[in-house]
Amino acid sequence: MLARAQVEEAVPGTVAFACALPGCCDLASAGARWWERKRRENPNFQTEVVDALKETEATLVATGAPYLLLTPASPVLKRLWKAPRMTISPHEYGGYLAPTASHPAWPAVIPKQDAYQKKTYVFHGNGLVLPQRKPVTPVWVQVTSKKTGKTKRIAPMFAKRKHRGAQRAAPLGFLEGVAQCNATLRGLVEEV
């Protein structure tokens, strides 16, 4: 990503859209089991992550272009920074993808059309217009806890630790909806 100084030096109007998808496992509950150890090593680790997010958003704003910043949902993020403009789940925008659309990097793990639930925070600005929801039915797998014996439903990519990369994947249906909505509004494509 460009530093804010580089963005501010760029020619105004040269950026059409800016987007950041930073990892936030130091803030989201998925990384909570490691927080105690991390806090011993660096008591400010979460504050530093939030400071980096603030700088990321400032850089996006500095482009002057419509921007989007997506992070995993996290009460810690709300407490240390601010509430998101919106909370989404990938399955709510799966209708922007073809019924046979597989994720390009994780086709065997992420359900077609982003048909899974995962709370994601949306921060946006500079005139970005968000798409309407086009939901699809989420896909579930049943897993049983080895500790408690309880069975619960979860999205397929959360069933195995080896799918951590898929757990961090961007919600493609939402991004496609943003692209379609903003391209049409800005006259970049003709409506069909």
pLDDT tens digit sequence for 135-181: 999 999 998 888 888 998 988 888 888 888 888 899 999 999 999 99
Contact 97, 134 (CB under 8 A): no
pLDDT of residue 12: 63
Residues with Cβ < 8 Å from 157, sequence gap 6 or more? Answer: 106, 109, 110, 116, 163, 166, 167, 169
Alpha helices in the chain (DSSP H): 4-9, 35-41, 45-62, 75-80, 164-167, 172-185
**If you average pLDDT over residues 75-80, what whole number do you get?**
92
pLDDT of residue 178: 96
CA atoms within 13 A on the CB side of 125: 14
Q: How confident is the model at residue 34 (pLDDT cuts 50, 70, 90)?
A: confident
Residue among 78, 112, 77 at smallest CA distance from 98: 112
Residues with Cβ < 8 Å from 159, sequence gap 6 or more? Answer: 141, 143
Q: How confident is the model at residue 188 (pLDDT cuts 50, 70, 90)?
A: low
pLDDT of residue 192: 44
Phi, psi of 180 (to 5 degrees): -65, -45
The share of the chain scoring above pLDDT 90, in percent, equals 61
Q: How confident is the model at residue 25 (pLDDT cuts 50, 70, 90)?
A: confident
- Number of neighbouring beta carbons within 10 Å of residue 156: 19
- Number of neighbouring beta carbons within 10 Å of residue 168: 15
More confident residue, 168 or 116: 116
Residues with Cβ < 8 Å from 101, sequence gap 6 or more? Answer: 112, 113, 172
pTM: 0.86
Q: Determine the length of the chain.
A: 192
Residue among 71, 117, 74 at smallest CA distance from 93: 117
pLDDT of residue 191: 47
Q: How confident is the model at residue 1 (pLDDT cuts 50, 70, 90)?
A: low
pLDDT of residue 186: 63
pLDDT of residue 145: 84
**Average pLDDT for the chain:** 88
